[in-house]
Amino acid sequence: MMTNAETPLSPPDATSVIEVQDLYKSYGNLEVLKGVSLRAPRGHVISLIGSSGSGKSTLLRCCNLLEDSQSGEILFEGEPVRWKKTSSGRVAADRAQVTRMRTNLSMVFQQFNLWSHLTVLQNVMEAPVTVLGRSRAEVEPRARELLAKVGIGDKADAWPAQLSGGQQQRAAIARALCMEPKALLLDEPTSALDPELQQEVVKVIKALAAEHRTMLLVTHDMRLAADVSDHVVFLHQGRIEEQGPPAQLFGAPKTERLCQFLSASM
Protein backbone atom coordinates (compact mmCIF):
# COMPACT_ATOMS: atom_id res chain seq x y z
CA MET A 1 0.00 0.00 0.00
CA MET A 2 2.87 2.37 0.78
CA THR A 3 4.72 3.95 -2.08
CA ASN A 4 8.42 4.53 -1.86
CA ALA A 5 8.15 8.01 -3.31
CA GLU A 6 7.87 9.48 0.17
CA THR A 7 9.56 12.58 1.43
CA PRO A 8 12.32 11.21 3.60
CA LEU A 9 11.49 11.60 7.26
CA SER A 10 14.11 12.46 9.81
CA PRO A 11 15.23 9.40 11.75
CA PRO A 12 13.70 9.01 15.20
CA ASP A 13 15.66 10.98 17.75
CA ALA A 14 15.31 12.63 21.11
CA THR A 15 14.03 15.99 19.87
CA SER A 16 10.44 16.48 20.93
CA VAL A 17 8.10 17.64 18.22
CA ILE A 18 5.53 18.43 20.87
CA GLU A 19 5.96 18.55 24.59
CA VAL A 20 3.57 19.40 27.41
CA GLN A 21 4.77 20.26 30.90
CA ASP A 22 2.50 20.29 33.95
CA LEU A 23 -0.55 21.39 32.00
CA TYR A 24 -3.73 22.46 33.78
CA LYS A 25 -6.96 23.00 31.91
CA SER A 26 -10.42 23.81 33.26
CA TYR A 27 -13.80 24.47 31.74
CA GLY A 28 -15.33 26.85 34.26
CA ASN A 29 -15.17 25.00 37.57
CA LEU A 30 -14.47 21.65 35.96
CA GLU A 31 -10.75 20.78 36.15
CA VAL A 32 -10.13 18.52 33.18
CA LEU A 33 -6.31 18.33 33.05
CA LYS A 34 -4.52 18.41 36.39
CA GLY A 35 -0.81 18.67 35.75
CA VAL A 36 -0.19 16.55 32.67
CA SER A 37 3.30 16.22 31.17
CA LEU A 38 4.20 14.28 28.08
CA ARG A 39 6.46 14.45 25.08
CA ALA A 40 6.36 13.10 21.56
CA PRO A 41 9.95 12.63 20.36
CA ARG A 42 10.45 12.81 16.62
CA GLY A 43 9.59 9.55 14.91
CA HIS A 44 7.76 8.10 17.91
CA VAL A 45 4.16 7.06 18.42
CA ILE A 46 2.63 8.02 21.75
CA SER A 47 -0.77 6.54 22.52
CA LEU A 48 -3.22 8.03 24.97
CA ILE A 49 -5.66 5.64 26.58
CA GLY A 50 -8.22 6.10 29.32
CA SER A 51 -11.93 6.13 30.04
CA SER A 52 -14.33 8.44 28.33
CA GLY A 53 -14.12 11.86 30.01
CA SER A 54 -10.56 11.39 31.28
CA GLY A 55 -9.33 14.35 29.20
CA LYS A 56 -7.71 12.71 26.17
CA SER A 57 -9.37 14.87 23.52
CA THR A 58 -8.84 18.00 25.59
CA LEU A 59 -5.14 17.20 25.83
CA LEU A 60 -4.84 16.75 22.05
CA ARG A 61 -6.72 19.98 21.47
CA CYS A 62 -4.43 21.82 23.89
CA CYS A 63 -1.38 20.49 22.02
CA ASN A 64 -2.78 22.00 18.86
CA LEU A 65 -3.72 25.25 20.62
CA LEU A 66 -7.36 24.65 19.75
CA GLU A 67 -7.95 25.10 23.48
CA ASP A 68 -6.43 27.58 25.86
CA SER A 69 -5.28 26.42 29.30
CA GLN A 70 -4.74 27.75 32.79
CA SER A 71 -1.08 26.96 33.38
CA GLY A 72 1.81 24.77 32.30
CA GLU A 73 3.98 24.82 29.21
CA ILE A 74 3.44 23.60 25.66
CA LEU A 75 6.52 23.42 23.47
CA PHE A 76 6.68 22.90 19.74
CA GLU A 77 10.10 21.67 18.59
CA GLY A 78 11.52 22.91 21.85
CA GLU A 79 10.07 26.39 21.53
CA PRO A 80 7.64 27.30 24.34
CA VAL A 81 4.30 28.83 23.44
CA ARG A 82 4.15 32.47 24.47
CA TRP A 83 1.00 33.19 26.50
CA LYS A 84 -1.17 36.22 27.10
CA LYS A 85 -3.39 36.30 30.21
CA THR A 86 -7.16 36.61 29.79
CA SER A 87 -9.99 36.61 32.33
CA SER A 88 -10.75 32.90 31.72
CA GLY A 89 -7.15 31.71 31.60
CA ARG A 90 -4.65 32.50 28.90
CA VAL A 91 -4.31 32.31 25.15
CA ALA A 92 -1.35 31.94 22.84
CA ALA A 93 0.00 35.42 22.26
CA ASP A 94 1.63 35.13 18.90
CA ARG A 95 -0.50 34.47 15.78
CA ALA A 96 2.50 33.36 13.73
CA GLN A 97 3.42 30.79 16.35
CA VAL A 98 -0.18 29.50 16.50
CA THR A 99 -0.31 29.18 12.72
CA ARG A 100 3.04 27.41 12.63
CA MET A 101 1.89 24.89 15.23
CA ARG A 102 -1.54 24.28 13.69
CA THR A 103 -0.10 23.73 10.22
CA ASN A 104 2.58 21.40 11.55
CA LEU A 105 0.34 19.34 13.82
CA SER A 106 -2.39 17.88 11.61
CA MET A 107 -5.47 16.50 13.33
CA VAL A 108 -7.56 13.51 12.37
CA PHE A 109 -10.94 13.30 14.09
CA GLN A 110 -13.24 10.44 14.96
CA GLN A 111 -15.92 11.84 12.64
CA PHE A 112 -13.55 12.45 9.65
CA ASN A 113 -15.00 15.95 9.03
CA LEU A 114 -14.46 15.92 5.28
CA TRP A 115 -15.97 18.86 3.42
CA SER A 116 -19.06 17.42 1.74
CA HIS A 117 -19.11 20.01 -1.07
CA LEU A 118 -15.57 19.12 -2.19
CA THR A 119 -14.41 15.97 -3.94
CA VAL A 120 -11.97 13.70 -2.16
CA LEU A 121 -9.05 15.15 -4.11
CA GLN A 122 -10.19 18.71 -3.42
CA ASN A 123 -10.47 17.86 0.28
CA VAL A 124 -6.86 16.72 0.34
CA MET A 125 -5.62 19.75 -1.63
CA GLU A 126 -7.64 22.44 0.16
CA ALA A 127 -5.43 23.30 3.13
CA PRO A 128 -2.04 23.21 1.39
CA VAL A 129 -3.46 25.56 -1.25
CA THR A 130 -5.50 27.94 0.93
CA VAL A 131 -3.49 27.86 4.17
CA LEU A 132 0.06 27.31 2.91
CA GLY A 133 -0.46 29.16 -0.36
CA ARG A 134 0.97 26.38 -2.50
CA SER A 135 -0.04 26.10 -6.15
CA ARG A 136 -2.66 23.55 -7.21
CA ALA A 137 -0.32 22.26 -9.90
CA GLU A 138 2.31 21.50 -7.29
CA VAL A 139 -0.06 20.02 -4.71
CA GLU A 140 -2.19 17.81 -6.95
CA PRO A 141 0.41 15.10 -7.71
CA ARG A 142 1.27 14.87 -4.04
CA ALA A 143 -2.44 14.66 -3.09
CA ARG A 144 -2.98 11.84 -5.60
CA GLU A 145 0.11 10.05 -4.32
CA LEU A 146 -1.21 10.24 -0.75
CA LEU A 147 -4.63 8.94 -1.78
CA ALA A 148 -2.88 6.01 -3.45
CA LYS A 149 -0.80 5.51 -0.34
CA VAL A 150 -3.90 5.12 1.84
CA GLY A 151 -5.41 2.79 -0.74
CA ILE A 152 -8.10 5.02 -2.29
CA GLY A 153 -6.30 6.36 -5.36
CA ASP A 154 -9.36 5.47 -7.42
CA LYS A 155 -11.65 7.67 -5.28
CA ALA A 156 -10.01 11.02 -6.05
CA ASP A 157 -13.00 12.37 -7.96
CA ALA A 158 -15.68 10.88 -5.72
CA TRP A 159 -17.72 12.90 -3.21
CA PRO A 160 -17.23 12.07 0.46
CA ALA A 161 -20.83 10.79 0.71
CA GLN A 162 -20.02 8.14 -1.90
CA LEU A 163 -17.30 6.64 0.31
CA SER A 164 -17.55 4.13 3.15
CA GLY A 165 -16.59 5.34 6.60
CA GLY A 166 -13.24 3.58 6.35
CA GLN A 167 -12.53 5.23 3.01
CA GLN A 168 -13.58 8.64 4.37
CA GLN A 169 -11.24 8.26 7.31
CA ARG A 170 -8.39 7.27 5.01
CA ALA A 171 -9.14 10.36 2.91
CA ALA A 172 -8.99 12.42 6.11
CA ILE A 173 -5.59 10.91 6.90
CA ALA A 174 -4.36 11.73 3.37
CA ARG A 175 -5.66 15.27 3.88
CA ALA A 176 -3.73 15.58 7.14
CA LEU A 177 -0.56 14.21 5.53
CA CYS A 178 -0.79 16.61 2.59
CA MET A 179 0.09 19.45 4.97
CA GLU A 180 3.44 17.65 5.41
CA PRO A 181 3.03 18.01 9.19
CA LYS A 182 5.72 17.39 11.78
CA ALA A 183 3.25 15.25 13.74
CA LEU A 184 -0.21 13.76 13.40
CA LEU A 185 -2.70 14.08 16.23
CA LEU A 186 -5.32 11.36 15.86
CA ASP A 187 -8.40 11.39 18.09
CA GLU A 188 -10.03 7.95 18.08
CA PRO A 189 -9.64 7.57 14.32
CA THR A 190 -11.32 4.14 14.26
CA SER A 191 -14.05 4.60 16.86
CA ALA A 192 -16.80 5.68 14.47
CA LEU A 193 -16.24 2.71 12.16
CA ASP A 194 -17.79 -0.73 11.97
CA PRO A 195 -15.28 -3.39 13.06
CA GLU A 196 -14.62 -4.61 9.52
CA LEU A 197 -13.83 -1.06 8.37
CA GLN A 198 -11.60 -0.31 11.35
CA GLN A 199 -8.97 -2.68 10.01
CA GLU A 200 -8.34 -0.70 6.83
CA VAL A 201 -7.65 2.41 8.91
CA VAL A 202 -5.54 0.42 11.39
CA LYS A 203 -3.45 -0.79 8.47
CA VAL A 204 -2.75 2.79 7.38
CA ILE A 205 -1.83 3.87 10.92
CA LYS A 206 0.53 0.90 11.25
CA ALA A 207 2.18 1.81 7.95
CA LEU A 208 2.64 5.41 9.13
CA ALA A 209 4.17 4.17 12.38
CA ALA A 210 6.52 1.89 10.43
CA GLU A 211 7.82 4.87 8.48
CA HIS A 212 8.43 6.72 11.76
CA ARG A 213 5.74 9.36 11.55
CA THR A 214 5.49 11.21 14.82
CA MET A 215 2.00 10.56 16.16
CA LEU A 216 -0.07 11.29 19.22
CA LEU A 217 -2.83 8.71 19.04
CA VAL A 218 -5.93 8.64 21.21
CA THR A 219 -7.48 5.22 20.88
CA HIS A 220 -9.85 2.72 22.43
CA ASP A 221 -8.21 -0.01 20.40
CA MET A 222 -5.76 -1.56 22.86
CA ARG A 223 -4.41 -3.95 20.26
CA LEU A 224 -3.57 -1.00 17.98
CA ALA A 225 -1.96 0.88 20.87
CA ALA A 226 0.06 -2.22 21.77
CA ASP A 227 1.16 -2.75 18.16
CA VAL A 228 2.21 0.76 17.12
CA SER A 229 3.22 2.67 20.26
CA ASP A 230 6.66 3.47 21.53
CA HIS A 231 5.08 4.80 24.69
CA VAL A 232 1.58 4.54 26.17
CA VAL A 233 0.03 7.05 28.53
CA PHE A 234 -2.97 6.11 30.67
CA LEU A 235 -5.03 9.12 31.70
CA HIS A 236 -7.44 8.91 34.60
CA GLN A 237 -9.56 11.91 35.61
CA GLY A 238 -7.13 14.39 34.13
CA ARG A 239 -3.95 12.90 35.54
CA ILE A 240 -1.44 10.46 34.16
CA GLU A 241 -2.04 7.40 36.27
CA GLU A 242 0.54 5.21 34.59
CA GLN A 243 2.79 5.33 31.52
CA GLY A 244 5.50 3.31 29.88
CA PRO A 245 6.36 1.08 26.94
CA PRO A 246 3.38 -0.93 25.66
CA ALA A 247 4.78 -4.27 26.83
CA GLN A 248 4.87 -2.92 30.35
CA LEU A 249 1.50 -1.17 30.36
CA PHE A 250 -0.40 -3.99 28.74
CA GLY A 251 1.71 -6.88 30.00
CA ALA A 252 2.38 -5.83 33.58
CA PRO A 253 0.12 -2.94 34.61
CA LYS A 254 1.06 -1.62 38.03
CA THR A 255 -1.94 0.38 39.16
CA GLU A 256 -5.32 -1.00 40.13
CA ARG A 257 -7.02 1.60 37.93
CA LEU A 258 -5.16 0.56 34.81
CA CYS A 259 -5.88 -3.12 35.57
CA GLN A 260 -9.57 -2.29 35.86
CA PHE A 261 -9.53 -0.19 32.70
CA LEU A 262 -7.77 -2.90 30.72
CA SER A 263 -10.04 -5.68 31.90
CA ALA A 264 -13.02 -3.58 30.81
CA SER A 265 -11.43 -2.71 27.42
CA MET A 266 -9.92 -5.94 26.16
Q: Which residues contact ligand ADP by CB under 6 A?
A: 27, 30, 32, 50, 52-58
How far is 63 from 251, CA to CA, in rounded Å? Answer: 29
**Nearest approach, Cβ of 248 to ligand ADP (angstroms)?**
22
What is the bridge-based pairing of β-strands 83-85 and 90-92?
Answer: antiparallel
Cβ closer to Mg ion: 220 or 257?
A: 220
Residues 6 or more apart whose CB falls under 8 angstroms from that of 168 comprise 112, 114, 160
Q: 25 is in the binding site of which of Mg ion, ligand ADP, none (Cβ under 5 to 8 A by kind)?
A: none
3-state DSSP of 164-181: CHHHHHHHHHHHHHCCCC
Among the candidate windows 55-63, 84-92, 129-137, 235-243, which touches Mg ion by CB under 5 A?
55-63
Distance in angstroms between the alpha carbons of the first and the last residue of the chain:
29
Cβ closer to ligand ADP: 54 or 123?
A: 54
**Nearest approach, Cβ of 124 to ligand ADP (angstroms)?**
26
Cβ closer to ligand ADP: 19 or 67?
A: 67
Cβ closer to ligand ADP: 50 or 128?
A: 50
Residue from 54, 57, 198, 243 binding Mg ion (CB under 5 A): 57
- Counting Cα atoms < 13 Å in the Cβ hemisphere of 164 gives 14
**Nearest approach, Cβ of 62 to Mg ion (angstroms)?**
13
13 in Cβ contact with 218 (< 8 Å): no
